[in-house]
Amino acid sequence: MYEDDILSILAAAQKPLSIAEVREALMRRLKTYVSYEATKRSLLSLSTRGLIHSKSIGRGKRATWIFWSLKSGEQREAQAKAFKPFEVSAAERDSMTPEELTALYDSLVEEYGRLIMEALGRSSRYIVLCDGKIVYASNHEPSDEEIRNMERNLGKVCYVLTEDPIEESRWSPITDGDYYPTIDVFIGGINWGEEEVFHRGLKIT
């Protein structure tokens, strides 16, 4: 969303910037509010595609990411090689940080969102997307070995996508006309079987 502006900001800065610093520069440039997460997502997307440099400094909760612009020669080379989700190798994908993987999947969903939603809408809980095509659709989650076999056979990196079902619960009234989702809890003896708990147990809502 903000990638072109971020590239300009980093090029003008000529030094590494943190996510917070890039966000502040974005808001000054655009004269509007920009969330931290949106800034981070755009930065990681650029980094994943090799269009900017990035580095994590520190460890654990104290870790912070910094980003800086490529040199002109690097920029031209990166733009020529900028990959799409199916142009990365399995090794490149497997070496990515969780943040970079998130950006990669965001790019995948952005480009193939309609295909993904249509496939998941056909009662399949899991799908595998490879080279822009659905190569697997099932309610059974594919194992890592199955994915590796697909990648070897197809010669492309594959992505597993799923849409977890949302379980609806009853809404019960509370004070001031408000409502709250509730579930029933059954309490029984330690040695009771499941059927006995439901028939003899104490029901609490």
The whole-angstrom separation of Cα 52 and Cα 10 is 9
The answer to whether 84 and 107 have CB atoms below 8 angstroms apart is: yes
- Residue that wins the pLDDT comparison between 49 and 8: 8
What are the E-state strand segments in 2-49?
17-18
> 126 forms bridges with which residues in the sheet?
138, 162
- Over the chain, what is the mean pLDDT? 77
Q: Which residue has the higher pLDDT, 154 or 100?
A: 154
Q: Are 86 and 104 in contact (CB under 8 A)?
A: no
Q: Order of strands, edge to edge, in the sheet holding 64-69?
A: 17-18, 64-69, 52-57
- Fold of domain 1-82: Arc Repressor Mutant, subunit A (1.10.10)
pLDDT tens digits, residue range 141-168?
888 899 999 999 999 899 988 875 544 4
Question: Domain-by-domain residue ranges, the chain?
Answer: 1-82, 83-166, 170-204
Q: What average pLDDT does this structure show over 91-104?
A: 76
Q: What is the pLDDT of residues 19-58, one digit of tens each?
A: 999 999 999 999 999 999 999 888 988 887 778 888 888 6
Q: Tell me the whole-structure pTM to 2 decimals.
A: 0.46
Decide which of 49 and 129 is more confident.
129
DSSP string for 89-152: -HHHHHTS-HHHHHHHHHHHHHHHHHHHHHHHTTT-SEEEEETTEEEEEESSPPPHHHHHHHHH
